[in-house]
Amino acid sequence: MNISISLASKKTRHGILKPTSNPPVIFTPGEKIRDEAGFMRGHGTYVSAGSLKATVAGVEQNINRLVTVSPLRCRYNGEIGDVVIGRITELVHKRWKVDLNARLDAVLLLTSIQLPGGELRRRGMEDEQSMRNYLSEGDLISAEVHSIFADGSLSLHMRSLKYGKLGQGVLIKVQSSLIKRSKNHFHNLTVGISIILGNNGYIWIEPTSNDNKDLVGLEDEFEQVVDIGDRQTISRVRNVILALSYYKMLIYDTSIQFALEESKKYTVSDLLTAEACYDIANLTRHRLQIMDE
């Protein structure tokens, strides 16, 4: 076991990467944002003495004359159409409760999944009694936000073939605000690894499978053997994603691919060091800037 020891003065400083543009202004709770005249109050603001003030610590965002303050860190607030990854926590009457890293547990109705074999029919008493055979407590699933209830909780569905129960892989958690919204959140990387970027901040990493999955995606795949090469690649992908997350960089397929390419000069264990994380994040940011130009 290799142990790396260095002086505190020689260690890489864990800080934010040097910005290339003016950093955003961060408002603290109670701080004046601007005068109320001519502007409308949005989320994260309140009116006091003719001025708009912040209720949370965050960055100001303007949509025409609507002023809002987006918090720097908060629980996941779902939107319809979001791709999410969650864990089954409870089975109740004709529904599952799912933990999505949100303020409230989401709901997955029995009618919102496809039955084994893709059979299309009304769900009866036998289906309700077999719910634990489909999904049980502790299972990880990928799903889509179908609707939002009045109390803010989410309703999910798994009617598409790309959603379902997740098999063998690694789950990591980052801030939901770091996941870049895009049309596709399912990616196959060039290193033979597939990732699912959940809008709720959960990221799933698994080996790319060439075999056709079952029609519904509710079968267990835990008997499949993952070879040591795939395990090391999964660990590498995990470490570079955590490096990007630590330095508050947007996480999407391009940034992950660039970070993987820059990490080839390090071993998997070296990616856990502060120096390697800083180097990968800095080089990845530089490549992304060149691509944007």
Residues 6+ apart with CB under 8 A from 19: none
- How confident is the prediction along the chain (293 residues), in pLDDT tens digits per residue? 566 666 655 555 555 555 555 667 888 898 888 888 888 888 889 988 888 899 988 888 888 888 888 887 788 888 899 999 999 999 988 889 999 989 899 999 988 887 666 665 677 777 777 788 888 899 999 999 999 998 889 999 988 888 989 988 999 999 988 898 889 999 999 888 999 999 999 999 999 876 555 444 566 666 677 889 899 999 999 999 999 999 888 999 999 999 999 999 999 989 988 889 999 999 999 999 888 76
CA–CA gap between residue 91 and residue 110 (Å, rounded): 10
CA–CA gap between residue 100 and residue 276 (Å, rounded): 31
Closest by Cα among 18, 22, 44 to 31: 44
Angle at CA of residue 143, ends 206 and 188, nearest 5°: 30
Closest by Cα among 101, 70, 62 to 84: 101
Q: Identify the burial level of 247 via C-beta atoms within 10 angstroms of its C-beta, where 0-12 means exposed, 13-18 middle and 19 or more buried.
A: middle
Please answer whether residues 66 and 40 qualify as being in contact, where contact means their C-beta atoms are separated by less than 8 angstroms: yes
**Whole-prediction pTM value?**
0.80
Which residue intervals of 85-166 are DSSP H helices? 125-129, 131-134
Instruction: Tell me what pLDDT residue 205 has.
Output: 95
CA–CA gap between residue 92 and residue 54 (Å, rounded): 40
Instruction: Tell me what pLDDT residue 280 has.
Output: 93
CA–CA gap between residue 42 and residue 35 (Å, rounded): 14
